[in-house]
Amino acid sequence: MDGLDIKVDEKLEHFRSWFARRMETADRKSRRRMGGVGLLTDIERRALDDVPFRLGPAGLFRASKATTTISTDGALYAGRRQRKKERHPGGWAFIIHETNEEFGGYERSTTNNRMELQAVIEALRHTAVGASVIVRTDSQYVHDAVNKGKTIKRNSDLWKLFEVEVSKRSVRVQWVKGHAGDQYNERADRVAGRYAEQAHMMAELDLVPATADDVSS
């Protein structure tokens, strides 16, 4: 029986390790369902910064010959089926049309909407204060919050950073249909996808920091 007990213990240990990895990326609802009940520690903390709000009115956009056009995109690691609001390794990217440069980065545990918004923020940060910028995104989440006054209920930390960057520039956010043959959108999608895959691969090896950004051309 000693040999059987050892094998059972090994199986249990392997299961515990596997289950812990799965729970790292699971949302609160999944954790409650798997655990049978929701503990107080599973309740998502909310602060005053998380109160729903709307962005302030956009300033007047001034187009000129010096206007910079940037295509952005965000992506999650696509190696497994994704559930709404579930967090995974993710990547963001943006392409500068005028210079043909591409930039990107990743996060270990994030959502698609956060990566879409992070890409826009990083794109704006790359431009000079006072610049005229057209940001192209296939994210209706980002576009509608900016242009249609949609109420923001999540990701207030990133939206506040977005407001800071927009206040320093003349910005127009345009929506472009994703996966419809637009060369810049398709390229941004590929770059963001590569960063998401890189984040997943390094996370599996336990080598990835919480966030990272890089430059490629």
| Spatial distance between the Cα atoms of 110 and 199, rounded to a whole number of angstroms | 11
pLDDT for res 55: 87
Name 155's Cβ contacts closer than 8 Å, sequence gap at least 6.
Answer: 111, 113, 114, 117
For residues 82 and 38, membership in a common domain is answered with: no
For residues 91 and 174, membership in a common domain is answered with: yes
For residues 31 and 59, membership in a common domain is answered with: no
Residues 78, 125 contacting (CB under 8 angstroms) = no
For residues 194 and 117, membership in a common domain is answered with: yes
Structurally, how many domains does the chain consist of? 2
Kindly compute the dihedral angle of the four CA atoms of residues 83, 86, 90, 96, in this order, to the nearest 10 degrees: 80
pLDDT for res 99: 97
| Spatial distance between the Cα atoms of 103 and 94, rounded to a whole number of angstroms | 6
For residues 56 and 137, membership in a common domain is answered with: yes
**44-85: per-residue pLDDT in tens?**
565 556 678 788 777 788 888 999 999 999 999 975 555 556
For residues 164 and 204, membership in a common domain is answered with: yes
* CA-based R_g, the chain, Å: 20
* The two three-digit tokens of residue 152, written as one number: 């923001």
Domain of 7, in residue numbers: 2-45
For residues 79 and 148, membership in a common domain is answered with: yes
Residue 10: pLDDT above 50? yes
pLDDT for res 217: 46
Residue 16: pLDDT above 50? yes
Ramachandran region, residue 181 (left: φ > 0; alpha: ψ -120 to 50; beta: rest):
left
The CATH number given to whatever domain includes residue 163 is 3.30.420.10
* The two three-digit tokens of residue 184, written as one number: 């810049």
For residues 92 and 149, membership in a common domain is answered with: yes
| Spatial distance between the Cα atoms of 31 and 150, rounded to a whole number of angstroms | 30
For residues 119 and 25, membership in a common domain is answered with: no
- What secondary structure letter does DSSP report for 51? S
**174-207: per-residue pLDDT in tens?**
999 999 999 999 999 999 999 999 999 887 877 6
**104-146: per-residue pLDDT in tens?**
999 988 999 999 999 999 999 999 999 999 999 999 999 999 9
For residues 22 and 122, membership in a common domain is answered with: no
For residues 112 and 197, membership in a common domain is answered with: yes
Residues 122, 94 contacting (CB under 8 angstroms) = yes
For residues 113 and 37, membership in a common domain is answered with: no
User: Model pTM greater than 0.85?
Assistant: no
